[in-house]
Structure 1
């Protein structure tokens, strides 16, 4: 690999990392092009009306330039710690690597390019259980395509799936068969990307999974499959346990088994137990 190739590779990784940062941490719903009714949500009456609204509205992203300028200023004002005393990662990620990423993020990264890439896709927003859910929905040109809902992880965003849309919706253009086609739905988990953030408690994996079933039914699908990785796999697993009518299968790329008593505590938000929880012969 040449030095130029290496730089290009690192920039590609940096682009993806920065896109995820924007999607999960920085571009909160307050800075996107809000749905028309969003300004009214401060009142309880409007919130109740919005929660009953089952419409699916077109959506376009536009982050105000003032927000981007403020972000770059905060990046430039970063106060750095002392350099580590070793030449390896035994004391954590090396300061020089972080500084390189932050320099690229603050001076070279082009959010408008990423924004335009997202806006070439059919994006929508709909209100489910009182929260605006932003999602990408691409139908295949092939008949009888299988609907699939893809759920990102944490930290993560819908950017994770951009390159999968073409092969999934148009497999014949990528060496596949027409019967391999999918209709693709890619939502942002509540509190991530451009979905709204919950204002009440209880939005754990189970509640998100129920919202995903509502979304698929609202889009007109009476059957579908679900895929998830990282935190998305937890949501897909919850969906499978709920077994709503029409869910045919799930695919996980982070399968895990958690004891039922621990999962109940995790989903309920209970505090950690004071004493170790013994599962079988092991202490957890």
Structure 2
């Protein structure tokens, strides 16, 4: 979304509706910036970043073909709201299920994702009967935007690490009226946040699910790796040596790259598209010590950069509710394969219905 996050006045405990309507002037500015882009020469070899022609086509669609007002209507129909958590304004989607036995499910995006990743999952999750499913699988859905993402406020200083975000999301679910028996799901940095939620005492979270398992093999596990685990390790080495340039720059020189990303929509598109090209399926972070105490499920998609075997997961989770290797999909599972991820989430939590 090429605009500054709007602000809504709320009390420290209120969760207030927040209809989204980006000013037309911001959209006109976006189109003008896209039209005035000075393009570089084409790439000279594969693997250098997004191809010039592909990025030009994407930006032409962004300028003239993408229906932003429909996107706004989608977000507003999914309970677009704002609240204040730990002094920071947070945007969220909140959709309640019509089923009386439903429990909350917190969905956590990562970088460079957003709440939009989950929009094709929300209907089937909250109202499974209307989508050919079973009433007992219904959940209420809560999808917050990370600080600094989408319509959430950006932190004014350092300190918003994984645990702080986890604490904020726990407070959010409690604020919405559920202190125990709720679930959480995440991928990318959202998986790290969900892992922290599952390790936080008295969070009330009953179970968690990851589509990026928080597993980083030890030297002993690497040495004892099976043939399938060796393949997983090779995929991770490829990412670490050839595909993690964006992560390195953001971790070491965020302000430097920030000037380009804030000023140029094409620079932002290229920066994000790089990761999408590297870790999505286009055929069709270390955890705290000791096993996580909260029952967990995990789903491994084939194009994901960092994968895990069941036995690695079992050494890090006290109770494994579900573990599956899928035949299609990648890092952005909610966006690429929403139906598959929805069923994986249901399979993980199905035996824990508390309603």
Please state if 1:28 is matched with 2:4: yes
**Structure 1 runs (4+) greater than 2 angstroms displaced:** 89-93, 256-260
The corresponding residue for 2:14 is 55
Q: Give ranges in structure 2 of 5+ residues lacking alignment.
A: 219-249, 253-355
Q: How far is the alpha carbon of 1:258 from its aligned partner? A: 4.4
Structure 1 residues 106-163: Cα deviation after superposition (integer angstroms, max 9, x where no partner): 1222211211221122121110110011111111111120211001121111000111
- Determine helix, strand or coil for the equivalent of 2:214: coil
Greater shift in the superposed pair: 117-126 or 227-236: 117-126
Q: How far is the alpha carbon of 1:173 from its aligned partner? A: 1.6
**Conservation of the 8 A alpha-carbon contact between 1:188 and 1:194:** yes
The corresponding residue for 1:231 is 189
What CA distance in whole angstroms lies between the structure 1 residues aligned with 2:203 and 2:148? 27
Correspondence 1:103-182 to 2 at 5 A:
103-182=60-139
Q: How far is the alpha carbon of 1:259 from its aligned partner? A: 8.3
Number of aligned positions between the proteins: 222
Q: Give ranges in structure 1 of 5+ residues lacking alignment.
A: 1-21, 38-49, 261-268, 272-284
- Cα RMSD of the aligned pairs, angstroms, is 2.3
The corresponding residue for 2:212 is 254
Q: TM-score, normalised by structure 1?
A: 0.73
Q: How far is the alpha carbon of 1:27 from its aligned partner? A: 3.0
Q: How far is the alpha carbon of 1:36 from its aligned partner? A: 3.4
What CA distance in whole angstroms lies between the structure 2 residues aligned with 1:239 and 1:194? 23
Q: How far is the alpha carbon of 1:270 from its aligned partner? A: 9.9
Q: 2:141 aligns with which of 168, 181, 184?
A: 184
Q: TM-score, normalised by structure 2?
A: 0.59
Q: How far is the alpha carbon of 1:105 from its aligned partner? A: 1.0
The corresponding residue for 1:45 is none
Correspondence 1:188-199 to 2 at 5 A:
188-199=145-156
Q: How far is the alpha carbon of 1:195 from its aligned partner? A: 0.8
What CA distance in whole angstroms lies between the structure 1 residues aligned with 2:119 and 2:23? 23
Q: 1:84 aligns with which of 40, 43, 54?
A: 43
**Conservation of the 8 A alpha-carbon contact between 1:157 and 1:193:** yes
Shift of the 194–270 alpha-carbon distance from structure 1 to 2, 3 Å rule, reads closer
**Conservation of the 8 A alpha-carbon contact between 1:28 and 1:192:** no
Greater shift in the superposed pair: 251-260 or 74-83: 251-260
Structure 1 residues 217-251: Cα deviation after superposition (integer angstroms, max 9, x where no partner): 00000221100011111110111122433110110
Q: 1:205 aligns with which of 148, 155, 162?
A: 162
What CA distance in whole angstroms lies between the structure 2 residues aligned with 1:148 and 1:102? 34
Shift of the 221–69 alpha-carbon distance from structure 1 to 2, 3 Å rule, reads same
The corresponding residue for 1:66 is 25
The corresponding residue for 1:8 is none
